[in-house]
Amino acid sequence: MKFFIDTADINEIKEAASYGLLDGVTTNPTLVARTGKKFRQVLEEICAIVDGPISAEVTAVDYETMRREAEELASIHPNIVVKIPLILEGLKCVRWCSEHDIDTNVTLCFSPTQALLAAKAGATYISPFVGRLDDIAHEGMEMVRQIIEIYDAYDYETEVLVASVRHPLHVLDAARMGADVCTMPLSVIAQLVKHPLTDLGLARFLEDAKKVPR
């Protein structure tokens, strides 16, 4: 499973990249706004750090404007993946992008049938938002399981990118289900390596090492 970081913070991206585990980056307008930088500047900085898919979102909701934004975003760097909302006008834009060799990440997916439509439109990635479903007492990872089942049944090439990840259990479930990608904040990436027995074992090893003659 590929690991993406969900941020627009350059320092966080550099930190994640230093671990040697980072395969790509997802951003959205909210994350970019927090940087206080211009949109294009942020994307260019990210592309200079990470040699992998970089998701950048359109801000329009009508087909013609989305199409123009998609062209502009794709022209910034070959690694740019255009994020498009899962609305009817968005699906039209996804189809156009597919026909013009522009990779897409269909975002704000909250049901398996939405994911089916995105795959039929030719999406490169589908982003089911598991954490936001959990927030309203739905099982976000069950949606992911159903999406993978549907895609496998019809051999869709669209990759399942698990988004809105809140904790390591989301990552574990995504890996067990066979999701293609999991995108997460830096805090969750750091949590994945943590285990109390690892910390305890290391402390003991270090203490014993002090007793070994040099």
- Mention every residue, 6+ apart, whose C-beta is less than 8 A from residue 76: 40, 43, 44, 47, 56
Phi, psi for residue 157 in degrees, rounded to 5: -90, -10
Q: Which residue in the list 38, 83, 92, 194 is annotated as catalytic?
A: 83
Q: Report the largest interatomic distance among the alpha carbons of the chain, rounded to a whole angstrom.
A: 73
d(CA 129, CA 182): 11
User: Does residue 194 carry a catalytic annotation?
Assistant: no
d(CA 146, CA 19): 32
Please provide the size of the chain in residues: 214
Which residues are catalytically annotated? 83
